[in-house]
Amino acid sequence: MKLTTTLGTAAAVTVLGLAAHAQTMTAEGSNPGSTPLTTIITMAELASAAGIADFQVQDGQTLTDSLVNVARGNTDVAPVPLIAPFLLSRGAGPYVSIGAEEGTALVGNVSALFTLSFGAMSLYSYDSSPVSGWDALEGRRIINGPPSGGALANARAMIQIIAGLEDGVGYEGVQSNWGQMSQFIADGSGDGVVLPIYFPDERITQASAAGAMTLYSVPREAYESEDFQRYLASPGTVGFEIPLADLPQQDGLTISSEDDMWRSPLTAGAVVVNSDMDFETARALTALMLENLESFESRAPYMRLALLGAIEADETGMCGPNPIRYHPGAIAAWEEAGYTVPDCARP
């Protein structure tokens, strides 16, 4: 197998030299140094080695747009935040121009192969910043995502619940495209940052070259509040609690919590395909992940907490208000591997 990788706005990964029977497929991913793109690239490489497919992967994409591309059959595979199908089915958020009727129809064209975490969501800032925690956001400029998408929606929701502040009223939200985000942070474009994070986080590593930073856990009282627990049950969001001692250390970063426990939401996502994908291909791609969990988790330190291989509804964000379900071929692969797929996640 020959693998050629070019990161950019064009094809990010082209896998060549496949067996003659392998099909050509397209996939989209987000920015480098993220679980969505690392997952897709790893899947592409393994699918090539197995003779399943020749994948062309485009990186740097806005995954809310990738969902529509999969639904319309323009892209075969993409990781998407699970808040996106919910919003699309209602013609809300980034899908206002599509509308609820068309959005509902598009969601019906999408099925999941497996789920993954898109990272935790929390607040961090330079130690020299006036933002010294969740109670210091009022009147500040807060970097809260790209101009649209699930990250922006989640950041706004978190700040409103924890700090009681609305974007544009209690604080000024500022946005940047993912490709420029690290430099945007380092330039001092915001007093604080509320974005998806990994453990360790490459974006924080790059930004901390400009100064030491502190990452703030969600305060326990806020985390356990009725409003925040309701938020954790919302589409595309699950809870995440872990001792600080179990998190990898990162140079230039202090992690702050009042009781040595990390608490935050996780942005739940799924690798999705068009529902018309044939049964055998969906089964093969899902089995590929399940049979190679160690390969996925070893690709980057943050992949250990990507929750690949999780199937329970409370860990994955499937079921409830999430409108998409597993592809029948994916269900077959899960069951053949000895897992029990929740009834609420079946079509």
Domain count, the chain: 2
Q: Which of 219, 244, 266 is the last residue of a domain?
A: 266
pLDDT tens, 235-270?
889 999 999 999 988 999 999 999 999 999 998 999
Contact by Cβ (8 Å): 13, 46: no
Provide the whole-model pTM.
0.81
Question: What is the domain range of residue 329?
Answer: 2-117+269-345
How much is the mean pLDDT over the chain? Answer: 91
Tell me the CA distances in angstroms from 75 to 24, 28, 43, 272, one per residue in order. Answer: 11, 7, 15, 10
Same domain, 254 and 280: no
Same domain, 123 and 252: yes
CATH of the domain at 245: 3.40.190.10
Distance between start and end Cα atoms, the chain:
36
- The confidence score (pLDDT) of residue 3 equals 35
Mark whether 244 and 302 lie in a shared domain: no
For residue range 148-170, what is the model confidence (pLDDT) as tens digits?
Answer: 777 888 899 999 999 999 999 99
Average pLDDT, integer, range 139-149: 92
Euclidean distance between CA atoms 275 and 325, whole angstroms: 10
Tell me, what's the pLDDT at 32? Answer: 84
113 shares its domain with 147: no
Last residue of a domain, one of 202, 234, 266: 266
Above 70 in pLDDT, residue 17?
no
